[in-house]
Chains A and B, each alone.
Chain A
Amino acid sequence: MKHPPEGIDQGRRALLGVAVGVTTAVVAPGLVLHAAALPSGASAGAQGTGPVTDSVRWGLLIDTSKCVEGCRACVDACDRENGLDLQTRPAGQSARAWADQKAVWVRKVKLADDLTGRVTNLPLMCQHCEHPPCVDVCPTGASFKRADGIVLVDRHTCIGCRYCMMACPYQARSFIHEVMHDQLSRVPRGKGCVESCNLCVSRRDHGAPSTACADACAEAGHHAIVFGDLKDPQSAISQALKGLPNRQLREDLALNTGVRYAGV
């Protein structure tokens, strides 16, 4: 038996129409802005802006024989590039505590050989391991390794447990102990999260050829830091690694680090 058709509820139609209109008005500008924010060469295949793949592995070679004592060019450049120079000491905190707690991505280390007394200088940062212990231990997966070998922290899923800092053999990670007032939009940082050297990942994603530390070292005339693709046999870093005896720090852990040192 057929039921007679019910009258169309015009009120409901009108409400749906308004809902669609409001949603479009709210979402559309965001989509337009997002599209506008993309670099002009964002089409597939444009240098540095396509999907991250494992066809490259970024790394650094540090020739300690060229690293000059007292020079902080790489550290200062890293601080500027990543907004670490914008850090401010919380009111009431001692200078000593601040030195222990502020974020440091690259540190300048001076070593003395216990037997010979030979002094070596080098910058120490995240070693971008192929098998990073920080990634293994992170409970939420916030610490992760990109296909191109860069080890990063996802600030949205980092819960601030600091287990990755316990696991890092290089003490390369920093915890943001204080409230952040200033930061660069390309390097999001936030209280309660862990961070470390990201091999200037924003430069990588926009196709820039080098890192801030390597550029600064070259500008200072030392050329102690070489950046490049470890998988490309023709890259400057691969050529330098072939010709220069070099090693990984904590080789015993078999982490296959992306950062190599000559002269240690």
Chain B
Amino acid sequence: MKRIVYREWRIPAARYWGILGILAAVVGLGGLAALYLEHGGHWVTGMSNSVVWGVPHVFAVFLILAASGAINVASIGTVFNKDAYLPMGRLSGLLAVALLIGGLLILVLDLGRPDRLLVAMTHYNFRSIFAWNIYLYTGFIVLVIAYLWSMADRMGAPFKHPVGVLAFVWRLLLTTATGSIFGFLVARQAFDTAFLAPMFVIMSFAYGLAIFLLVLMFSCAQDARPIGDLLLQRLKNLLGVFVAAVLYFTLVYYLTKLYGAKNYDLVGWVLLRGGIYSFTAWVGWVLLGTLVPLGIIWHPVLGRDRRWIVAACALVILGGFAALYVILIGSQVYPLQIFPGHTVVASGVVDGLRAGVARYHPSFPEVLLGLGGVAVALVITAVGVRVLQFLPESLADPEESAPVGPGALKRFSIDEAAAG
């Protein structure tokens, strides 16, 4: 196998600082939103006593899932011995840590008492899956940093495989635990199923790879580093498999729910009568987030055009947000079933107990806090590839296996890449 040469990102300083400046501005806005929330309290959000987890949690869970999925590329190389994926292992690890930090920051800053972080780190109730997660998240960061060391340092090379296996098992545990946060909630009809754990695992595969692909293509295009057609085709085909698997799990999730007669109304509401939630489920999650990207990925012409691959990745990410919006918020908006066979005519206060569903309108600070977390992840990634050797000089296909003729992927020219 040819030697892989890693180099720092060598884009012009002005462009680098420009990118960093834009991201820092978003981080700053997110920070201001967090301060605003902390200072005045959560009354400035759309969250209520019925919908207690809002848009910040959608962002946070999405980033945590994506972090776990981003490490998959490294795992495929070192754990499953696919040489073509080896050069991308370092970027995969960096992105995984960056996304997790971004997600966790949102979660911490959305706490009612973020100043009590020390309490969260010193008081543990091990019956709580949340307490397990604190260890799983911090352990994942430590493990991936060790994994990066084993990939980057000669002394660490002998540990690359065992640490890689451990990181792979850990990410599975981590996402299982993230899914279980919801799956353990027996009180809420839409949750209350262990099926959410594997569903979150497969979602993480798709969202993590979509983000990885976008970051990889952007970073390489900016620095005029080639990505081979064959490699890109492999990655986007893998994304197609993951997205299709998410669709399968989505289908089985709702069929599982329908198996219990008590959930007919819930599924009917989410899929048909839920207004914005039904719309988000069908248009955002299924159509734009699943079917359209699948159509692009497996289209004989579009699937070979890099711009369309970028579009497919962006749509998968959009679909991920839509899916989590429906799963997290729709499930809280739907009223709790405390009195089966009865209709709640009045409950003294306006909330999820009344005959209808609860209200939730995300506020601007909530959205800014979420975007701030995304920007933090991208800042860490940008600084990482700039100052350390995370990115290989070339991801070009080996000469003998490069596709030729009309089947080859349509390439960006360097000028085109720099422009967009």
Give the interface of A toward B (CB within 8 A): 72, 75, 90, 93, 96-104, 107-115, 119-120, 124, 133, 135-142, 156-163, 165-171, 173-179, 191-194, 249-250, 253, 264
**Contact between B125 and A139, CB atoms less than 8 A apart:** yes
Given A110-B345, A176-B112: A100 and B338 within 8 A (CB)? Answer: no
* Residue in A closest to B359 when the chains form the complex, CB atoms: A100
Candidates B49, B124, B342, B344; contact of A174 at CB < 8 Å = B49
**Contact between A112 and B113, CB atoms less than 8 A apart:** no
* Residue in A closest to B116 when the chains form the complex, CB atoms: A159
Given A110-B345, A171-B351, A177-B41: A136 and B127 within 8 A (CB)? Answer: yes
A192 to B40, CA, bound (A): 10
Given A136-B127, A139-B131, A161-B112: A171 and B120 within 8 A (CB)? Answer: no
**Contact between A253 and B186, CB atoms less than 8 A apart:** yes
User: Which residues from chain B contact A110 at a C-beta distance below 8 Å?
Assistant: 344-347
* Residue in A closest to B127 when the chains form the complex, CB atoms: A136
* Residue in B closest to A99 when the chains form the complex, CB atoms: B350
A4 to B364, CA, bound (A): 77
A161 to B111, CA, bound (A): 5
**Contact between A175 and B42, CB atoms less than 8 A apart:** yes
**Contact between B350 and A100, CB atoms less than 8 A apart:** yes
A193 to B52, CA, bound (A): 12
Q: B389 at interface (Cβ–Cβ under 8 A)?
A: no
Name A's interface SS.
loop
A157 to B123, CA, bound (A): 8
**Contact between A169 and B353, CB atoms less than 8 A apart:** no
List the 6 closest pairs (A to B, CB-CB), nearest first.
A160-B112, A192-B112, A169-B187, A100-B48, A139-B130, A177-B43
- The range of chain B's interface size is 35 or more
Candidates A97, A104, A191, A250; contact of B41 at CB < 8 Å = A191
User: Which residues from chain B contact A174 at a C-beta distance below 8 Å?
Assistant: 49
User: Which residues from chain B contact A249 at a C-beta distance below 8 Å?
Assistant: 338-339
A104 to B349, CA, bound (A): 8
12 A-B contacts (beta carbon < 8 Å): A101-B47, A102-B349, A103-B49, A115-B341, A137-B127, A157-B116, A160-B113, A161-B111, A169-B186, A176-B112, A193-B113, A250-B187
Given A100-B49, A101-B43, A159-B113: A171 and B341 within 8 A (CB)? Answer: no
**Contact between B347 and A108, CB atoms less than 8 A apart:** yes
**Contact between A137 and B43, CB atoms less than 8 A apart:** no
User: Which residues from chain A contact B45 at a C-beta distance below 8 Å?
Assistant: 177
**Contact between A90 and B40, CB atoms less than 8 A apart:** yes
Give the interface of B toward A (CB within 8 A): 40-43, 45, 47-50, 52-53, 111-114, 116-117, 119-120, 123-125, 127-131, 134, 181, 184-188, 332, 336, 338-339, 341-353, 358-359
Candidates A158, A178, A250; contact of B43 at CB < 8 Å = A178
* Additional A-B contacts beyond A109-B346, A175-B49, A192-B41 (20; CB < 8 A): A90-B43, A100-B48, A100-B49, A100-B358, A111-B342, A113-B342, A114-B341, A136-B127, A138-B125, A138-B128, A139-B130, A158-B113, A159-B111, A159-B113, A159-B117, A159-B119, A166-B187, A175-B47, A176-B112, A178-B42
A264 to B348, CA, bound (A): 18
Candidates A108, A160, A253; contact of B348 at CB < 8 Å = A108
**Contact between A171 and B353, CB atoms less than 8 A apart:** yes
A156 to B120, CA, bound (A): 11
A67 to B334, CA, bound (A): 27
A99 to B358, CA, bound (A): 12
**Contact between B338 and A194, CB atoms less than 8 A apart:** no
User: Which residues from chain B contact A170 at a C-beta distance below 8 Å?
Assistant: 336, 338
**Contact between A99 and B187, CB atoms less than 8 A apart:** no
Which of A93, A139, A142, A165 gathers most chain B CB within 10 Å? A139
Which of B187, B188, B336, B359 gathers most chain A CB within 10 Å? B187
User: Which residues from chain B contact A142 at a C-beta distance below 8 Å?
Assistant: 123
**Contact between A160 and B111, CB atoms less than 8 A apart:** yes
Candidates B40, B339, B345; contact of A119 at CB < 8 Å = B345
A142 to B127, CA, bound (A): 13
User: Which residues from chain B contact A119 at a C-beta distance below 8 Å?
Assistant: 345
A245 to B174, CA, bound (A): 46
Candidates B47, B48, B119, B353; contact of A107 at CB < 8 Å = B353
A142 to B336, CA, bound (A): 24
Which of B41, B43, B181 gathers most chain A CB within 10 Å? B43
A113 to B339, CA, bound (A): 9
User: Which residues from chain B contact A177 at a C-beta distance below 8 Å?
Assistant: 41-43, 45, 47-48
